Structure 1
Amino acid sequence: MATASSLLSEDKFLCSVCLDVFTKPVTTPCGHNFCSACIHKYWDGRDTCQCPLCKRIFSQRPELQVNTFVSELAAEFKTLVQVKASTPDPQLPGTADVLCDICSEMRENAVKSCLTCLVSFSEAHLEPHQRVAGLKCHVLLDPVKNFDDRMCKTHDKTTELYCRTDRAFVCVLCLKTDHKSHNVVPLEEEYEAAMAKRDEAMANIQKMTQSRYEKIAEVERSVYVSQAEAQKEKEASVQVFTAWRRQESL
């Protein structure tokens, strides 16, 4: 899987025939997984039943059953990808890499934007807002790309509040009209809530990812042990047969 901070490797859940995430995965006697429809269609078009990956030929067409374990893993993989895709961006609308409005020659990236001054500042030019008493009360946010989007079109004032009821940025005057009884919070509070939700979602994804890795590692170890045991049994059978032939020849 790609990463949602390291999602499972996607190729573990891709059918090598259709190159898509498994649908009703089945396992061949040689231990490889394919979509049920894909492997049967693959065999229907050939004279022999051969594994598309290792090229092992089966004397008879195997009766394959859906591998419920792989099926569950593939389903959870799809869920992880959907969660990752649907996780909201913690940045408020209109925020992005922004240049400082004060720098005159080589403009540096802004570290904060002031909704009171409607100006974006680099680290150096932000210093007065951290020192001067009259500027400390200004509302500072992560850099704002377009201040026009932060202006209330009705009252021509900066939108320092967020209406959770209507999911809209509003100004203080809006509270007296259309948003009077709505759930309205300061912009900074909504930003912090969005960040917390993002962190929680990513933590859940990482927890699910770790669990899937452990299951896959367990399956791989089981397959390796089974193959090793099968090889030992084969070697033991050969030794028994060889000893029997020797006795027969005496």
Structure 2
Amino acid sequence: MASTAIAGDLEDDAICSVCLGYLTEPVTIACGHNFCRACITQYSEGKGTGTPLTCPQCRARFQKGEFKPNTQLNNIVQKIKQLGLKPGKGQKKDLCERHEERLKLFCEDDGETICLVCEKSRHHKSHTVVPIEEAAQDYKEKLQGALDPLRKELEEALVLTSKEKKKTTEWQRKVKNKRETIVGEFNKLHTLLREEEQLLLQRLEEEERETLQRLQENVTKLSQQSSSLQQLITEIEEKCQQPVVKLLTDVKSALSRYVSDVHCSYILGTGSAVMCAQRS
């Protein structure tokens, strides 16, 4: 089984990926892949002038005419041919499931690979059939053509994305600056309001202190006046209780002194004087 696998690998190396047959006059291109000289020459000439040449297998670029004969590989191919193996027997995946023949053609109508026997069948007889490599090359070119607008659209999307990111960054910067401005202005207002608050509280405190001091002084004066008046009332009441002779003794002098004391009370406070006058 191991020898069969090795034989299959050797057979794969001996097949040209262009014609799918055994290599004839195998040549090697720059990327290291091997092709029939006639196949790669025809492939190269089929490209238009100015179109870069790419390897049919790996798409690596190579220059026209830069082929190197591979004598050793040619000898291996000849030995494989002597074994009487048909090309592709080691690659079951490249064989037609119905006829076990090499898949060399592509049916455009059904979109599937077929063999030469399938082409002659009733089903594919009226269909458009082309060589498999030609079809692969055509569809590769179509796929490549589809990539260009997609790449262009991707490029435009990336440009728009970049612009939107810049707009986002710019907007965030503007919002940040405006936020800092608002906070700064309100901090100033808060500072002014705190200063105004402190000033008003200070003025109120001074007014409170002065008013309380004045009121306290008034209370003290009124207390003194009340005490004086109470003493005067007591003296007058005692005078009135004295016997007639004693009451009349020096009564004018006493009365004059009492009037003088009432006048002093009037000077200490108008309200007190009024009170004294009412009591008199």
- The structure richer in strand per residue is 1
What TM-score, normalized by structure 2, do the two folds share?
0.38
- The structure richer in helix per residue is 2
Q: Which structure is larger by alpha-carbon Rg, 1 or 2?
A: 2
